[in-house]
Amino acid sequence: MGISLIYRSKRSAWYSISVLLPLAFAVVMLFMKPWFIAFTMLPVLLMAVPIYFRTYYKIHDINHLTVVCGLFYRKTFPIEEILSIRPTSNVMSSPALSLNRLELRFRNKQTLLISPVKPEEFTKLLLSINPEIEVRKR
């Protein structure tokens, strides 16, 4: 393959609102009296904003998938270990900013829910690396 490709996470409207609304609220509070009350929103913003802007999936030229979500989650998976991919709307907590997700199942019984912006292209790229992946439909 030669280069690494990055796929951003698809962002649902509900998630965008839940992140951007507190951010807007904090900015408005900075211009009100007492302005320092805006800092009460700081813990929420320090957790939510990095997740919103730093959730992506990177396919490396060494046949690994790295999932990054916010400041604290970074995990790498071997693409050869993926058994199947299927679309899902599972609401389980995961490094995905949309409910339009892909469920990746691995040989070690582990599952991963992600939401790349271009799921078909993402799936084709994984299949080009590991053609034995079973692609399931809804």
Structural domain tally of the chain?
A: 1
Q: What is the pLDDT of residues 16-67, one digit of tens each?
A: 898 888 888 888 888 888 877 888 888 888 888 899 999 999 999 889 999 9
Question: Which domain CATH number covers 52?
Answer: 2.30.29.30
Q: Which domain holds residue 18?
A: 5-135
| Structure tokens belonging to residue 68 | 């990054």
- The residue count for the chain: 138
Strands annotated E in the chain:
5-8, 55-59, 64-69, 73-78, 82-88, 101-106, 111-114, 134-135
Residues in CB range of 59: below 8 A, 6 or more apart: 1, 4, 5, 7, 65, 79, 122, 125, 126, 129
> Which pTM does this prediction carry?
0.85
> What pLDDT, on the 0 to 100 scale, is given for residue 113?
96
**Lowest-confidence segment of 24-28, 74-78, 97-101 by average pLDDT:** 24-28
Q: Rounded distance, CA 130 to CA 132, Å?
A: 5
- The DSSP call for residue 104 is E
Taking a C-beta distance cutoff of 8 angstroms, is the pair 104, 136 a contact? no
